[in-house]
Amino acid sequence: MGIQEGGSKVTATARDAEQLRVLDADVVQAWRAYSERLRDLTGEEYEQAEKECWGELQRELRRVERRRKLLDRTIA
Protein backbone atom coordinates (compact mmCIF):
# COMPACT_ATOMS: atom_id res chain seq x y z
CA MET A 1 0.00 0.00 0.00
CA GLY A 2 1.50 3.31 -1.07
CA ILE A 3 1.32 6.59 0.76
CA GLN A 4 -0.88 9.24 -0.81
CA GLU A 5 -0.09 12.89 -0.48
CA GLY A 6 -1.22 14.01 2.95
CA GLY A 7 -0.82 10.51 4.40
CA SER A 8 -4.49 9.53 4.02
CA LYS A 9 -3.69 5.85 3.36
CA VAL A 10 -1.43 5.78 6.41
CA THR A 11 -4.22 7.28 8.51
CA ALA A 12 -6.76 4.81 7.15
CA THR A 13 -4.37 1.92 7.79
CA ALA A 14 -3.75 3.04 11.38
CA ARG A 15 -7.50 3.40 11.96
CA ASP A 16 -8.16 -0.03 10.43
CA ALA A 17 -5.43 -1.59 12.56
CA GLU A 18 -6.99 -0.05 15.66
CA GLN A 19 -10.42 -1.40 14.68
CA LEU A 20 -8.90 -4.86 14.24
CA ARG A 21 -7.34 -4.62 17.72
CA VAL A 22 -10.75 -3.68 19.12
CA LEU A 23 -12.35 -6.69 17.41
CA ASP A 24 -9.63 -8.98 18.79
CA ALA A 25 -10.19 -7.53 22.27
CA ASP A 26 -13.95 -8.13 21.89
CA VAL A 27 -13.29 -11.81 21.13
CA VAL A 28 -11.07 -12.12 24.20
CA GLN A 29 -13.70 -10.38 26.33
CA ALA A 30 -16.45 -12.68 25.05
CA TRP A 31 -14.45 -15.76 26.04
CA ARG A 32 -13.54 -14.19 29.39
CA ALA A 33 -17.20 -13.44 30.16
CA TYR A 34 -18.13 -17.02 29.23
CA SER A 35 -15.47 -18.42 31.52
CA GLU A 36 -16.29 -16.09 34.42
CA ARG A 37 -20.00 -16.92 34.33
CA LEU A 38 -19.22 -20.62 34.69
CA ARG A 39 -16.24 -20.40 37.03
CA ASP A 40 -17.80 -21.42 40.34
CA LEU A 41 -20.61 -23.61 39.06
CA THR A 42 -20.67 -27.38 39.38
CA GLY A 43 -22.88 -30.29 38.48
CA GLU A 44 -26.36 -29.64 37.16
CA GLU A 45 -26.06 -25.91 37.81
CA TYR A 46 -23.02 -25.83 35.50
CA GLU A 47 -24.74 -27.95 32.84
CA GLN A 48 -27.75 -25.66 32.65
CA ALA A 49 -25.74 -22.43 32.72
CA GLU A 50 -23.20 -23.69 30.19
CA LYS A 51 -25.83 -24.18 27.50
CA GLU A 52 -27.08 -20.63 27.91
CA CYS A 53 -23.57 -19.16 28.17
CA TRP A 54 -22.39 -21.08 25.12
CA GLY A 55 -25.26 -19.68 23.08
CA GLU A 56 -24.45 -16.16 24.23
CA LEU A 57 -20.77 -16.68 23.44
CA GLN A 58 -21.59 -17.92 19.94
CA ARG A 59 -23.90 -14.96 19.27
CA GLU A 60 -21.20 -12.52 20.39
CA LEU A 61 -18.52 -14.23 18.29
CA ARG A 62 -20.79 -14.10 15.23
CA ARG A 63 -21.44 -10.40 15.89
CA VAL A 64 -17.70 -9.71 16.04
CA GLU A 65 -17.15 -11.75 12.88
CA ARG A 66 -19.80 -9.72 11.02
CA ARG A 67 -18.05 -6.52 12.11
CA ARG A 68 -14.71 -7.98 10.97
CA LYS A 69 -16.13 -8.81 7.53
CA LEU A 70 -17.51 -5.29 7.16
CA LEU A 71 -14.10 -3.90 8.06
CA ASP A 72 -12.40 -6.26 5.60
CA ARG A 73 -14.65 -4.91 2.83
CA THR A 74 -13.69 -1.33 3.65
CA ILE A 75 -9.97 -2.18 3.71
CA ALA A 76 -9.99 -4.05 0.38
pLDDT, tens digit (0-9, with 9 covering 90-100), for 9-41: 556 687 888 999 999 999 999 999 999 999 999
Residues 64 and 23: beta-carbon distance below 8 Å: yes
pLDDT at 8 over 60: no
Query: What gap in Å lies between CA 46 and CA 38, rounded to an integer?
Result: 7
Of 55, 53, 62, nearest to 23 by C-alpha is 62
Instruction: Check residues 8 and 19 and name the one with the higher pLDDT.
Output: 19
